[in-house]
Amino acid sequence: MFSPSQEEHCAPNKEPVKYGELVVLGYNGSLPNGDRGRRKSRFALYKRPKANGVKPSTVHVISTPQASKAISCKGQHSISYTLSRNQTVVVEYTHDKDTDMFQVGRSTESPIDFVVTDTISGSQNNDETQITQSTISRFACRIVCDRSPPYTARIFAAGFDSSKNIFLGVSTTTDGVICEQTQFWPLIFEPPDSLVIN
């Protein structure tokens, strides 16, 4: 994620495009130890110097889950999900020059733009407390913003099973297509009508 100061450096003659803001509810605008780096309670989404979005390219419908491993390639970004016991769908993605992508989750790995920390229950609030189970996914959601006006923003989220594969409930698919409303995070955009969920 690029900070507003980095964006201004990339485009010194004009103000950076601000898609909107993501506010993590429950912290009342601040974290106990303060906002630092990618760990914040409020995140501004600015237009990136170079597009990093992805879009679906090829869809494979497979009769056995084992066959999905043959299609999946480490060099190719793909998502697989199961429709039934004998039907798995693998969606391959390609670069999208027209969108910016932002990723949110508790993972501190580099693909995550905004790291959301978990709340420790009760009075256990020291740094030595280990969180054994989290209410936040490592890769919780993705926000994709169009780089051209009206800067439409879409949010994509899902759960993961014990094999680290995407897991969607039966009601989240329609005609073999992933529903974009599987789950969503509170998103506050300025102006409010700029948030579109299909």
Each residue of 80-102: pLDDT tens digit? Answer: 776 677 777 788 888 999 999 99
Q: In 3D, which of 44, 39, 59 has the Cα closest to residue 127?
A: 39
C-alpha distances in Å from residue 46, one per residue of 99, 153, 155, 196: 12, 12, 15, 17
| Domain residue ranges of the chain, discontinuous segments joined by + | 4-51+97-121+131-194
- Quickly name the fold that domain 4-51+97-121+131-194 has: Tumour Suppressor Smad4 (2.60.200)
Where does the pLDDT of residue 79 fall: very low under 50, low under 70, confident under 90, or very high at 90 and above? Answer: confident
Provide the pLDDT for residue 2.
44
CA distance from start to end of the chain: 25
Q: How far is it, in rounded angstroms, from Cα 127 to Cα 31?
A: 13
- Amino acid at the residue 64: T
Q: What percent of the chain stands above pLDDT 70?
A: 46
From the number of C-beta atoms within 10 Å of its C-beta (0-12, 13-18, 19+), residue 88 rates as buried
Provide the pLDDT for residue 81.
73
Q: How far is it, in rounded angstroms, from Cα 120 to Cα 84?
A: 37
DSSP 188: B
Q: What percent of the chain stands above pLDDT 90?
A: 16
Provide the pLDDT for residue 191.
38
Q: What is the pTM of this model?
A: 0.65
On the question of pLDDT at 134 being above 80, the answer is no
